[in-house]
Amino acid sequence: MNSPLRRSAGRRTIPALLAALALGLSACSGAGGPTAVPEVEVSFGPTTTPATGDLAKAVWMLSKEPSTLDPDADSATSASTVLANICERLMQLQPDLSISGHLAQKAEWVDKATVVFTLRKDVTFHDGTPMTADDVLYSMKRHMAEGAEESDEYANVKSLEKTGSHEVTAHMLDEDAIFIQAMAGNGGIIYNRKALEAQGEAFGGPSGSDACSGPYELGSWKSGSEVVLNQAVEYWNPAKAAKTETLTFRWADENAVVNALISGEAQGAYLDSPAAAVPLQGKDNVAVSQGPATNVWSLIATERGILKDANIRKALSLVLDRQGIATAAFGSLAEPWKTPVGPGSWGYERETFETAYDALEGAPAKPSEADIAAAKQLVASSAFPNGELVIASDGSSVRNVVSNALVAAAQSIGLSAKIITVPPQQYGDFYSDETLRTSADFFSDEYYISKNDPVGFYKNGESTARVNYVGFSDPAYDALVAKAKATTDDAARAKLSIELEARWTEAMVWVPVVQTPATVALNAEVTGAPSSAAFIYYPWAADLGAAAGK
């Protein structure tokens, strides 16, 4: 497979299908197909062109208002997009999705069950106080606490202790290859303990302030209106100081975000979906860029009934028209994909992962006659040859296209299928509400991981995994997950990860649909922000500045 998404830099030519989102089942089933329009170019790479000057202010759009800026309470994407610029982590995710030391200048395994973090000595928080090992220990224990949103990142940690004035040691239950990577996510955020505790319950909310060390400080939060960040005064790392003095976040639905970008009311946005970029194509005052991500839209199977049979899941995967979905729902800004995690997770042994991915079968971009015949045989041998499939949508354009395509796929192999509509504000409850899941066999969602390691995703196939709703159970798979987590040699871990990938694909625990690169839209006067999925954890706004000649 020669995918443009595999390039680290360059330009990607795509058709700007402005009418594509209006198409439904006919586009997905190949009946006539969408009308082609002139092609435009979208840059692809980890970052946009570096800024050449500073900015006094900029407005950035979000899809929704953060519910909190305390990631141990909730670490949704909108909140993380803001928080990435305020708070810093022990390790730092880079625009190319690699990991480097940050507040910890070094993290190393000293034996198979011990990780030592050597801390920088020059870090100061926004109130001017220096970061200490006590602050680091406090922060890690806060993330690790039972019920904290980030506690799963510490599942393999037995204990934490301060082992020097600038050293913290984690004692593990077992060697854990992805623990150090996890410290580049929200689980690695380090707080000023005194500043956080002084705020009490106000911390994380509109009336609170931050307790961090990043290139921006929380200026104000007007609930329902905007969040304002100010350039940090005397930021401890002047080489990485923010180029924009004041950054204002506002939020709106997808259409309003697009209109704000076109009108110039906003200078940029990380788009929730590549589909939102379609109406921006060809606009002289807006540039769209894409970059590596782990995001994949998948059909997530529930425990309702028919999908407990792997043959039904595999049959539907064989006949799903992924290319039609990529065109109709995403204006060809997404790519048909075979696995539930994107290439941004290939942070090591990349060629090995690429080769293994190309060899996978069971999820064609567009089904062939042979695929349809094989799928019919799988249905005939299943426990539910005449079962009815129920697919949940929320009425959004993307989910409607995906759902209609799945109905067409099911009908092509003799299964009946229907779509139910769940209110958008309730749709996310499919992950937590077992009663809601009994109403549908599939719900669709864009899923991503915070680590550049596929093992960070494939743990979702363990027999005890929270999102393994169909009850996939394979002792060999569980043992592989444990072994992969404990294997710190990259080449050896890649082989284990690829075996997990093959077992997941054979069982088709979820049905992958399309891989969605990170997509950023910038006003022509600004540049510098990463175009990759790093914006969730990397201080991207510090790189945002004036474009050449502006």
What DSSP assignment string belongs to 177-194? TTHHHHTTSGGGB---HH
pLDDT one-digit tens code per residue, 225-261: 999 999 999 999 999 999 999 999 999 999 999 999 9
CA 176/CA 451 separation, integer angstroms: 13
Upper half-sphere CA count for residue 359 (Cβ side, 13 Å)? 10
In the prediction, which pLDDT does 444 show?
97
Q: Are residues 242 and 352 in the same domain?
A: no
Average pLDDT (462-473) is 95
In the prediction, which pLDDT does 523 show?
96
Average pLDDT (406-425) is 96
**Domain assignment of residue 503, yes or no:** yes
Give the CATH number, domain containing residue 254.
Answer: 3.40.190.10
Placement of tokens 């043959």 in the chain: 311
In the prediction, which pLDDT does 550 show?
64
Last residue of a domain, one of 167, 195, 223: 195
CA distances from 80 to 38, 61, 105, 194 (A): 36, 13, 23, 23
pLDDT one-digit tens code per residue, 137-190: 999 999 999 999 999 899 999 999 999 999 999 999 988 888 999 999 999 999
Q: Are residues 342 and 457 in the same domain?
A: yes
Could you tell me if 524 and 547 are in contact, meaning their C-beta atoms sit under 8 angstroms apart?
Answer: yes
In the prediction, which pLDDT does 175 show?
85
Average confidence score pLDDT of the chain: 90
**Domain assignment of residue 318, yes or no:** yes
Q: Does pLDDT of 3 surpass 70?
A: no
pLDDT one-digit tens code per residue, 267-311: 999 998 888 898 998 899 999 999 999 999 999 999 998 999 999
Q: Computed from CA positions of residues 472, 477, 479, 483, in that sequence, does the dihedral angle turn out positive or negative?
A: negative
pLDDT band at 49 (very low <50, low <70, confident <90, very high): very high
Q: Are residues 154 and 221 in the same domain?
A: no
Is residue 109 exposed (0-12), middle (13-18) or buried (19+ Cβ within 10 Å)?
middle
Average pLDDT (377-401) is 92
pLDDT band at 327 (very low <50, low <70, confident <90, very high): very high
Q: Are residues 316 and 402 in the same domain?
A: yes
In the prediction, which pLDDT does 19 show?
32
Find the domain containing 457 and state its range.
4-41+293-507
In the prediction, which pLDDT does 488 show?
86
Share of the chain above pLDDT 90, in %: 83
Please provide the DSSP assignment of 368-400 as one string.
-HHHHHHHHHHHHTSS-TTPEEEEEE-S-HHHH
Q: Are residues 267 and 119 in the same domain?
A: no
Which one-letter DSSP state was computed for residue 503?
H
Q: Is 282 left (phi over 0), alpha (psi -120 to 50) or beta?
A: left
Q: Are residues 441 and 331 in the same domain?
A: yes
CA 35/CA 17 separation, integer angstroms: 8
Give the CATH number, domain containing residue 114.
Answer: 3.90.76.10
Could you tell me if 321 and 409 are in contact, meaning their C-beta atoms sit under 8 angstroms apart?
Answer: yes
Burial profile 159-185: b = 16 or more Cβ within 10 angstroms, e = fewer = ebeeeeebbbbbebeebbbbbbbbbbb
Last residue of a domain, one of 143, 164, 195: 195
Torsion, Cα of 292, 107, 183, 522 (10° steps) = -40
Upper half-sphere CA count for residue 159 (Cβ side, 13 Å)? 3
**Domain assignment of residue 76, yes or no:** no
Q: Are residues 310 and 428 in the same domain?
A: yes
Q: Is 61 left (phi over 0), alpha (psi -120 to 50) or beta?
A: beta
Torsion, Cα of 283, 287, 291, 293 (10° steps) = -60
Average pLDDT (312-341) is 96
Average pLDDT (16-40) is 35
Q: Computed from CA positions of residues 305, 311, 312, 318, in that sequence, does the dihedral angle turn out positive or negative?
A: positive
SS3 219: strand
pLDDT band at 371 (very low <50, low <70, confident <90, very high): very high
Q: By C-alpha distance, which of 300, 296, 292 is closest to 461? A: 300
Last residue of a domain, one of 161, 195, 229: 195
CA 504 to chain CA centroid, Å, is: 20
CA 106/CA 289 separation, integer angstroms: 33
Share of the chain above pLDDT 70, in %: 92
Which one-letter DSSP state was computed for residue 236?
S
Please provide the DSSP assignment of 318-365 as one string.
HH--HHHHHHHHHTT-SEE-SSSS-GGG--SSHHHHHHHHHH--S--S
Spell out the residues 6+ positions from residue 363 whose beta carbon is closer than 8 angstroms to its own: 317, 318, 320, 322, 336, 337, 338, 339, 505, 511, 512
Spell out the residues 6+ positions from residue 393 whose beta carbon is closer than 8 angstroms to its own: 399, 400, 402, 403, 419, 420, 421, 422, 444
Q: By C-alpha distance, which of 298, 325, 223 is closest to 448? A: 298
In the prediction, which pLDDT does 34 show?
34
Containing 288, the helix (H) or strand (E) segment is strand 286-291
In the prediction, which pLDDT does 387 show?
78
CA 11/CA 290 separation, integer angstroms: 9
Q: Are residues 302 and 281 in the same domain?
A: no
**Domain assignment of residue 513, yes or no:** no
In the prediction, which pLDDT does 9 show?
32
**Domain assignment of residue 164, yes or no:** yes
Q: Are residues 366 and 454 in the same domain?
A: yes
In the prediction, which pLDDT does 13 show?
35
Q: Are residues 126 and 249 in the same domain?
A: no
pLDDT one-digit tens code per residue, 89-148: 999 999 999 999 999 999 999 998 999 999 999 999 999 999 999 999 999 999 999 999
In the prediction, which pLDDT does 66 show?
95
Q: Does pLDDT of 205 surpass 90?
A: yes
Is residue 490 exposed (0-12), middle (13-18) or buried (19+ Cβ within 10 Å)?
middle
In the prediction, which pLDDT does 4 show?
29
Main-chain dihedrals φ then ψ at residue 237, nearest 5 degrees: -120, 75
Give the CATH number, domain containing residue 458.
Answer: 3.10.105.10
Which of the pair, 61 or 26, is modelled with greater confidence? 61
**Domain assignment of residue 120, yes or no:** yes
Spell out the residues 6+ positions from residue 355 whose beta carbon is closer than 8 angstroms to its own: none
Average pLDDT (37-54) is 80
Which of the pair, 31 or 339, is modelled with greater confidence? 339
Q: Are residues 462 and 381 in the same domain?
A: yes
Q: Are residues 349 and 453 in the same domain?
A: yes
The whole model's pTM is what?
0.83
Upper half-sphere CA count for residue 57 (Cβ side, 13 Å)? 6
Average pLDDT (453-476) is 95
In the prediction, which pLDDT does 473 show?
96
Q: Does pLDDT of 193 surpass 50?
A: yes
**Domain assignment of residue 512, yes or no:** no
CA distances from 315 to 404, 410, 416, 436, 508 (A): 17, 9, 14, 25, 9
| Number of domain units in the chain | 3
CA 339/CA 298 separation, integer angstroms: 9
**Domain assignment of residue 515, yes or no:** no
Q: Does pLDDT of 85 surpass 60?
A: yes
The total number of residues written for the chain in this structure: 550
Q: By C-alpha distance, which of 546, 360, 541, 339 is closest to 457? A: 339
Burial profile 367-399: b = 16 or more Cβ within 10 angstroms, e = fewer = beeebbebbbebbeebebbebebbbbbbebbbb
CA 272/CA 76 separation, integer angstroms: 12
